Each structure stands twice: as C-alpha cells, then as structure tokens.
Amino acid sequence: MLRVASLGINYGQVGSNLPPPDKVLDLLSSLMITKVKIYDTNPQILTTFANSGVELIVTVENQMLSVVMDPQQALQWVSTHVKPYFPATKITEIAVGNEVFTDDDTSLIGYLVPAMVSIHGALVQLGLDKYILVSTPNSLAVLEESFPPSAGSFKGEVSAIMSEYLRFLASTGSPFWINAYPYFAYKGAPENVSLDYVLFNKNPGMVDPYTKLHYDNMLYAQVDAVVYAMFRLGYSGIEVRVSETGWPSKGDPDEVGATPANAAVYNRNLLRRQMRNEGTPLRPNTRLEVYLFALFNEDMKPGPTSERNYGLFEPDGTIAYNVGLSALSTTSSTSTSTSTSSSSFSFFLTSSADKVKP
C-alpha cells in the first residue's frame, strides 16, 4: 500500500457519540494516516496515541492565551500537558490558539505573540524545542486581498501584530498555518466561481496577470496569496501549510454545493494531488502539507448544518458518504463495522494513487 506522506487529518471532538480514542487510533491505522491535529490536549488521546507512530499537533485553547503569556504559567502548561507524554506520544507541534486574528474576542490578538514566545521558551527550558514547533492556525479572513494571488495582503488592522508573529515564525523555523476552504468562496458566489475550479476538476483555471503563473484550483491560489501577503511584510522564507480544508456533505437550503457528491470529489481530488506530493505554482518544489477537516461528523458543533457535516466518517465508523470509487460499492452503507468501512477507505486512498500517474 502507498502512503500519503504529507496528508494529515483534524480529529475534532465536539460530538456526543464519538468513538473512544483507541477505536479512533484503529481507524487511523487502517487508513494509514499518521498525522493528526486535535483542538486541545485531551489526556486520554495523548495516552492512547503513545507508541503509535502518529504525529500529533496539540492546541492551547483560546481562553488559555492570557494565562500562558506568563512564562511561569507557560512552563507549567507544557510540563503538565506535553512533557509527561513526550516522546512516547509523538507531539510535533503546539498550536497556540485557533483563528485568533479573526476571533470575535479582539483582546486575544494582543495575547497571541507573547503566549507563543512563552510556550516556546518553556520548550527551550525543558529541552523540547528541537522536537516541537510552535505556531497557530489562521483563518483566510486575515487577508485583505487574495485574488489574484500576487495581490495577497493582510488586513491593515492585523498587520502590526502579524509582523511580530511572522518574526517569531522566522526565528523559530515554524510554518504559517492557514484554514482554507474554497467551499466558502463557492457558497458565497456560486454564479461567479467555477465549481470545477474549487473541486480540483479539469478546468481552464486562471493565470495571475502579474506573475503569469497558472492556477487550476482555488486552494493553491489561496495558499500562494498568503505567501505574497508575507512578502509584503518582508518575509519570504516561511513555509505555508494548510491546517484545515474540506467540504461539507450536507448543508442548509441556502448552503449551495454542500452535497455528498461534491464532498467526495473535493476530498478524492485533493488526496490524488497529495499522492503526487504537489507544491503550489509559486513553490512547486515544496510539497504542500495539508490537514483535512475532518475525521468525524460532529453533532454538537454550532452554526449552520454544514458545520456538523465535514466528516469523512460517521461517529459509528461508517463512511459518511460514498467517495465514488467502485471499490466502495461493495460496502454496505449500513454496516457498523469500523474495520469494514475503514479498510474500504484505505483502498480508496491507494486506488486513487494507482489511477493517477505522478
């Protein structure tokens, strides 16, 4: 079986009926997915994932940022939530907050960089900084302009702290993480955005008029817009990675495009490109690291119906929708066997590679 070297997945836990971590680990193993991001430091997950080989990104929750700004509190946080589990549990990164720059609580922005500096300082003190990076996932809404990619720029109101943040990333060799959802752009203006372009299907694409680079999908254009936005603030060497991307399989009546068919196509096409270890047009030789959102449908997430339907799987381990390959047509959609549904999905991962020549 072939492995998607750069593919990760987000394991959210905002559900009332999710399987226990040991069952989740079995599912991930059968999918051959070895990179996972969680939104906390759930000790049950950290303990269960020990000696599994799965690389884990853990998160300091937003409400903790004001606390861990204090270096002593940061040291206590790392000593309690990370150090006891490492290196048996392969924690590779600490995400300090999530989408802080665009959070409704604007006070969080002022806490972000001091919190990151303190968490990194704690890792240094404990001798863990060589193994564990510190960064934060950002919403694409940090950009003022994203089209064409070469016009990429950050919003004026975040640019001062963004510069401090980028300085931290550059000095520690950490990546810039972006949560990028072409689905949102399509939903917002379906008459102006090509569905094939956002789904990675064959399409004429677009050429950036300034760089003459050709883009055949929106995700890569969004990533390169972030690269250009960093250029504008004087930073050129920071890697951009995708902390979340995905497509909902169900939505409210006004959520255009949220269908099982589109979700299957988006995720399948993205996986095929990951199999080829593709980079973006601006950075073709740097494989784009991507974390899919999400492993499970999470029934307790607030907001529109789509928010509860990004999962590849239902909580009982069955596939949330048919990914559209004949290999899956023999699997009963009513099966509750995790092993049956997940082995079919791993066949999907490998068979997509077999069908696409690098």
Of the candidates 220, 89, 202, which has an alpha carbon nearest to the alpha carbon of residue 152?
A: 220
In a domain, 276, yes or no: yes
Q: Is residue 280 part of a domain?
A: yes
- Cα distances from 65 to residues 7, 105, 141, in angstroms, run 28, 12, 21
**Which band of pLDDT confidence, cut at 50, 70 and 90, is reported for residue 269?**
very high
- Write the DSSP string, 196-264: HHHTT-S---EE-TTT--EESSHHHHHHHHHHHHHHHTT--SPPEEEEEE---S---TTSTT--HHHHH
Cα separation values, 256 from 105, 120, 346, Å: 29, 42, 29
Q: pLDDT-derived band of residue 275, with 50, 70 and 90 as boundaries?
A: confident
Tens digit of each residue's pLDDT (9 = 90 or more) over 195-227: 999 999 999 999 999 999 999 999 999 999 999
Largest Cα–Cα distance in the chain? Answer: 56
Q: Supply the range of the domain harboring residue 281.
A: 7-37+136-331
pTM, rounded to two decimals? 0.90
Q: For residue 19, give Cα distances in angstroms to 12, 25, 314.
A: 12, 10, 10
Structure tokens given for 92: 């590779």
Q: Is 239 a catalytic residue?
A: no
- In the sheet with 176-179, reading across from the earlier edge strand, the strands are 133-135, 90-96, 55-60, 35-37, 7-10, 290-292, 240-245, 176-179, 137-139
Q: Per the domain annotation, does 17 fall within a domain?
A: yes
**Buried b / exposed e along 28-67 (16+ C-beta atoms within 10 A):** bebbebbbbbbbebbeebbebbeebebbbbbbbebebbee
Q: Please enumerate in sequence order all residues whose Cβ is within 8 A of that of 18, keeping only pairs 6 or more positions apart, or say none.
A: 24, 296, 298, 315
CATH code: domain of residue 12: 3.20.20.80
| Residue in 61, 93, 99, 298 annotated catalytic | 99
CA distance linking residue 340 with residue 191, whole number of Å: 40
Residue 2, domain member (yes or no):
no
- Does residue 321 or residue 111 have the better pLDDT? 111
Count of domains forming the chain:
1
Catalytic residue among 244, 289, 298, 314: 244
44 in any annotated domain = no
- Percentage of the chain with pLDDT > 90? 83
Amino acid type, 191: E
Average pLDDT of the chain, as a whole number: 90
Let me know how long the chain is: 358
Residue 277 lies in a domain: yes
Question: What pLDDT, on a 0 to 100 scale, did the predictor assign at position 329?
Answer: 28
User: 226 in a domain, yes or no?
Assistant: yes
- Interval 141-171: pLDDT, tens: 999 999 999 999 999 999 999 999 999 999 9
Answer yes or no: is 85 within a domain. no
Query: Can you tell me the distance from the alpha carbon of 268 to that of 286, in angstroms, rounded to the nearest whole number?
Result: 21
Instruction: Give whole-number Cα distances, 56 to 33, 133, 149, 183, 292, in Å.
Output: 11, 11, 31, 26, 14
Active site residue 278: no
pLDDT per residue as tens digits for the range 107-154: 999 999 999 999 999 999 999 999 999 999 999 999 999 999 999 999
Q: Quick one: average pLDDT of 243-250?
A: 98
